[in-house]
Structure 1
Amino acid sequence: MSVVAALNRPLARLGTVGVMSLALAGVALIGVLDYVTGYEVSVSEFYLAPVALAAWYKGRLATVIIAALCCTSWYVADTAAGRQPAPEAIAVWNTVVRLVFFVITGVLLDALRTSFNAQRQLARVDGLTGLLVRRAFNDQLRRDLALARRHSDPITLAYIDVDDFKLLNDSRGHAEGDRLLWSIGDTLTRSLRASDAAGRLGGDEFALILPRTDAGGAKQLINRLNATLHEVFTSNDWDVGCSIGVVTLRNTRMYPEAAMTTADALMYDVKHHGKGTVAFRVIEADNAWPEHIRAGYSACQ
């Protein structure tokens, strides 16, 4: 882990009071250093640290406040250290120039942070459906599985495939296919709990993570969701359906990859034995994995 990442984690958890207090402490510390070193030695570059802290974590208003305090500290330290007297207009001019420099630097950092967060969000979220992309979904699944193991909670994973999506795309065009995918993403987002996660794994394949959800709860939620999706398809005259494989894990130490493979395989069983239905499976222990899963993966140690 880089030094920047190591520092960012605790700083990102600080509230407004915490960040501003840290920035103010930085201004005070640099002001003392500025006074001790005298006006002949420049420490102006160090004032950028509290300005950058305020800009990155708390935005433009915090930037202006800290920048103004930095300029005040700079002026007071130089004067107290015995700076040669100069016309008041020059002192004011220098202070204003410093303030403008600090504010511009802070505004640029705030814009960079906004762009960085937007790009990071785009890397995690599918642009069409608003759901998690495969990589972000796998990361979320890894975290949720670890929490389920720690607290001995059940967790359910559902794999959803749209039946006959290619036929719809070919007959009614890609724009209509995109509208269908968007509708699925919107339905999943509105139907799930805040603790759940939904992802588009590629094409017309979707997956759900349902933490703290046992077999009974999963059956109710998935059947209700499947009915809602069917209503959406019917109201838009889309001749499609969904094949869904649902796996509830209890007391297992299954890898995320193995869990995904299990749900995917169950979904394909549904497709082979009749599309448009849902299959449920409960895995109670590691030795209850399907044979083809146990052959490819081992339990976490």
Structure 2
Amino acid sequence: MQKGLIGKKTKRNLTLTIALACVAPLLSAAEIKGTLNQGELLVGSDLTYPPYTYLEQKQPAGFDPEFMALMGKQLGLEPRFLDTRFANLILGVNAQRFDLVASALYVTPERSKQVDFLSYLKTGSSLMVLSTSDFKPQQPEDLCGKRVGSIMGASWIPKLNKVSAEHCLPSGKPAIQSREFPTSPEVAQALLAHAIDVQMEDPAVAKITVEKLQGRTIISSKELIYPVVIGLAVRKNNQALLEKLTTAFAQIKQSGSYGELLARYNLAEPSAKEIRAALGTSAP
């Protein structure tokens, strides 16, 4: 009786050992590659944000899709974009809905606690108003008492709140009224409808918006506000993919293809100093 029980247990253990041995190589390969699907690179992106990410004839277009095409070619992976609203991008990559985020995502110390970044772009923000408006703000300090519209989750919103608390109110001026919208086009529509006074927006996006609206809006600010670094976001425990992306990025820079892409979009690569500042680190 005891011998029979031991025999059955041994058989079960042997079967389990064989099954694990068959699965182990697959798990190891997935872990090394760092991607969720074999042969694919699943990219979370808010495809409502031209010129960075948008849909053109139902296909992803803009800087980030072109950038990921270059990266995918180096990695031997086919990028597949999953349209996701901006506020849900970091949640999505950490929930493993996609491998990475490529969606003009600003690098901040707060976000770097949630994800790992590969920094690859530098931008900032501009102020846009109706062309018929007498109000032409140049800097955040000009926005006291104004309704300022932004895309939901924009990195400058906490900075506006700080200006409101530390500049507007102590000066006896009304607070800045920050309004958030799911997409950038919805912010522009709110501006056209006089639901907000100012749209705070990425300068490249603001430029395209002004062009599309054919003079109904203008960019009032003359200088880049809150210069920021943009990065690809990878979940914290996916070092394998981050390393592969870093290598691929170095390769497309060396080939010159990345420089050509930057020139076409009138964008720039951040310096090491700017990246450290964006991450909130002081390492040399």
The structure with higher relative contact order (CA 8 Å, sep 6+) is: 2
Greater helix fraction, Structure 1 or Structure 2: 1
Rg larger for: 1
Range class of TM-score, shorter chain: under 0.3
